[in-house]
């Protein structure tokens, strides 16, 4: 019986990368500054702060975390594939296991990066909140 790990891995990777939700946005307290500039300007400033965060070291931290997630995911899948084959009495098909592990690792990295760019890591959110605070806004949460 031949295992078809690669097509299954591609489906799992596609499912993982498709989990992105709309971009999380800061929720503003309607202080005097917010009421003066209005919601459209507040969203414009939030986007400007988000761009600054992505161009800063915060963006580099998110990329490093995504790389670590890819390596960990690929290693875990590869190990599970070999052990599963051995326990079922089959000779491990290392080519298919490696291909599946690489695909799932890439999917995991994409999902991690998407999750951080979508929801924002804690560091990303702190950066954006500080930037908005310096512009006169008061962020009370994220939605």
Residue-range domain boundaries for the chain: 26-142
Q: 23 and 85 in contact (C-beta within 8 Å)?
A: no
Per-residue pLDDT tens digits for 78-107: 566 666 666 677 676 777 666 666 666 555
Q: Structure pTM?
A: 0.50
Backbone angles phi, psi at 5, to 5 degrees: -70, -35
Backbone Cα Rg of the chain: 21
Say if residues 101 and 6 touch (Cβ distance below 8 Å): no
> pLDDT digits over 47-56, tens only?
999 999 989 8
């Amino acid at each position: 019986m031949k295992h078809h790990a690669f097509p299954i891995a591609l489906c799992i990777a596609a499912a993982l990368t498709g989990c992105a939700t709309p971009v999380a946005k800061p929720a503003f307290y309607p202080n005097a500054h917010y009421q003066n500039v209005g919601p459209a300007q507040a969203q414009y400033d939030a986007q400007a702060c988000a761009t600054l965060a992505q161009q800063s070291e915060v963006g580099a931290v998110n990329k490093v975390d995504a790389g670590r997630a890819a390596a960990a995911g690929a290693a875990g899948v590869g190990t599970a594939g070999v052990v599963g084959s051995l326990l079922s009495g089959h000779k491990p098909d290392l080519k298919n296991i490696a291909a599946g592990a690489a695909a799932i690792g890439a999917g995991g990295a994409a999902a991690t990066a998407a999750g951080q760019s979508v929801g924002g890591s804690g560091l990303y959110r702190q950066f954006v909140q500080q930037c908005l605070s310096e512009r006169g806004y008061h962020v009370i949460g994220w939605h």
